[in-house]
Amino acid sequence: MKKILVTGGAGFIGNHLCRRLVKEGNYVICLDNFFTGLKRHIEDLLDSPNFKLVEHDIVEPISLDCEQIYNLACPASPPHYQFDSIKTMKTSVIGILNMLELAKKNGATILQASTSEVYGNPLEHPQNEKYWGNVNPIGVRSCYDEGKRAAETLMMDYHRQYGTDIRIVRIFNTYGPNMDPKDGRVVSNCIIQALNGDDITVYGDGSQTRSFCYVDDLVEGLILMMNNHHGFIGPVNMGNPSERTVLNLAEMVLSLTGSASRIVFKPLPSDDPVKRKPDISLAKKELGWEPNVDINTGLKKTIEYFMQFKNKS
C-alpha cells in the first residue's frame, strides 16, 4: 500500500484516478478546493478506509505524509481558467512550488499534469516533446498555457537542483463520464446540445482538429508514468493520436444520440489552436502505453453519463 496524494482529486480526471488507485489497494488523499471539482464525483469513495478527502487550495502550503503526488489541481477548460486568470496562474506556479516543497520534504515522487496547450497554436504537426511551442504570452489563454509551461520549468529546476523525483505528462484532449456538463469543452458541449435538441455550436468552419483520449486510457498512462523505475521523467505526451475535425466530432455525436439538432457555426475564439495531435511514440517506447478505447465506444459511454443532465442545463 502506497500513501498517495492526488491534488484536484475531485476534478474530472482526478476522480477517476483516485478511484483506480483506491481499487489497487493504495491509501489515497484527495485534495481539492472545489473551484471546479465536485464532491459528488468522489462520494462513493468517502466511506472507504483507504480514502481521505482534504478541502484545501494548493496556493497555500500544506504538510502531509505521502510517497507519491499527482498534481492535477488547475482549472482545465477555457471558461473555467479564464474566469479568474490570476488565480489560474497562481495555482499553476505557486501551487506547484508548494507541491514540490512537499515532495522534497517527504522524498516523494511528484507527477505534474501538464497539457498540450504548452505547444500553443503549433507550427509543427503532430506535436512531439522536442517541440518548444508557439504560445501567445499575453493572450486570453496565456494564464493557463504559460502557467503550465512555468510549472514544467519549476519541476525541472527542482529535479536538477534538489534531485526531486519528478514526472511530467502533457495531457491532450480527454473525455469521458464525470465531465462537467457546463465546462465549455467541445465534447461536453456537443453532447449536451444534442441531447437537449439545441443547435450544436461549432466554432470557425469546424476544420480545426483535435485528438480525443478516453479518460480510462489516460489514467492508465498516468499510473504507468508515475511507477516507471528506469529514470524516465518526461515530458511525455499522452493522448489519442487519432485526429479528427471538430465538425466530424459534432456529426458523430448527432449520429450516436439520434438528435435532430442543427450544426451552427460561430467565430473561432482567440488563440484557439487550429491543429492538435500528439506524437505518442515516446510513451510507447518508454512506457508501452497507447490508448485502447475507440472514439465510438468512448462517446457512447460519455453520452450515457450525460443523459442525466438532459434538459437540465
Residue 142, domain CATH: 3.40.50.720
pLDDT at residue number 270: 74
- Judge whether residue 169 has pLDDT over 60: yes
Q: What is the band of 81 on the pLDDT scale with cuts at 50, 70, 90?
A: confident
Q: Name the least confident of 60-69, 74-83, 90-99, 100-109.
A: 74-83
Rounded Cα distance between 143 and 135, Å, is 11
Q: Are residues 135 and 80 in the same domain?
A: yes
pLDDT top residue among 165 and 35 = 165
Residues 143, 248, single domain; the answer is: no
Same domain, 60 and 47: yes
Quick one: 127 and 162 in the same domain?
Answer: yes
> What is the band of 275 on the pLDDT scale with cuts at 50, 70, 90?
confident
Q: Is a pLDDT exceeding 70 seen at residue 35?
A: yes
Q: Is the pLDDT of residue 42 over 80?
A: yes
Q: What is the pLDDT of residue 268?
A: 80
Same domain, 183 and 121: no
Distance CA 77, CA 182 (A): 10
> Is residue 31, in this structure, part of any structural domain at all?
yes
Let me know whether 269 and 149 are in one domain. no
- Closest to 76 (Cα-Cα) out of 193, 221, 174, 190: 174
State the residue range of the domain holding 190.
177-210+241-276+293-309
Is residue 80 located within the same domain as residue 190?
no
Segment 219-244, tens digit of pLDDT: 999 999 999 989 999 999 999 999 99
Residues 59 and 185 in one domain: no
Q: Indicate whether 309 pLDDT > 90.
A: no
Classify residue 260: in a domain, yes or no: yes
**What is the percentage of the chain residues whose pLDDT exceeds 90?**
81
Residue 288 resides in a domain: no
Is the domain of 268 the same as that of 144? no
- Distance, in Å, from the CA atom of 141 to the CA atom of 83, rounded to the nearest integer, reads 11
Give the per-residue pLDDT at 312: 66
One domain, residues 304 and 226: no
Given pLDDT bands bounded at 50, 70 and 90, which one contains residue 84?
confident
Residues 84 and 142 sit within 8 Å (Cβ to Cβ): no
Same domain? For 103 and 152 the reply is yes
Contact call for residues 102 and 163 (beta carbons, < 8 A): no
Rounded-to-integer distance, Cα 293 and Cα 175, Å: 11
CATH number at residue 200: 3.90.25.10
pLDDT of residue 194: 95
Give how many domains the chain has, as a whole number.
Answer: 2
Cα atoms found within 13 Å of the Cα of residue 190, Cβ hemisphere only: 26
pLDDT (0 to 100) of residue 233: 98
pLDDT band at residue 313 under the 50/70/90 scheme: low
Is the residue at 157 inside a domain? yes
Three-state secondary structure string covering 53-121: EEECCCCCCCCCCCCEEEECCCCCCHHHHHHCHHHHHHHHHHHHHHHHHHHHHHCCEEEEEEEHHHHEC
Q: Is residue 34 part of a domain?
A: yes
With respect to residue 282, please indicate whether it lies within any of the assigned structural domains: no
222 or 122: whose pLDDT is higher? 222
Residue 283 domain-assigned (yes or no): no
Residue 280 scores a pLDDT above 70: yes
Positions annotated as catalytic residues are 144
Question: pLDDT tens, 92-121?
Answer: 999 999 999 999 999 999 999 999 999 998
| pTM of the entire predicted model | 0.94
Residue 253 and residue 109 share a domain:
no
* Model pLDDT, residue 308: 87
Are 58 and 31 in contact by the 8 Å Cβ rule? The answer is yes
What's residue 303's pLDDT? 96
Mean pLDDT of the chain: 94
Is the predicted pLDDT of residue 181 greater than 90, yes or no?
no
Residue 287 lies in a domain: no
Mean pLDDT of the 146-159 span:
97
C-alpha cell at 131: 517541440
Show Cβ contacts of residue 49 under 8 Å, excluding neighbours closer than 6 positions: none
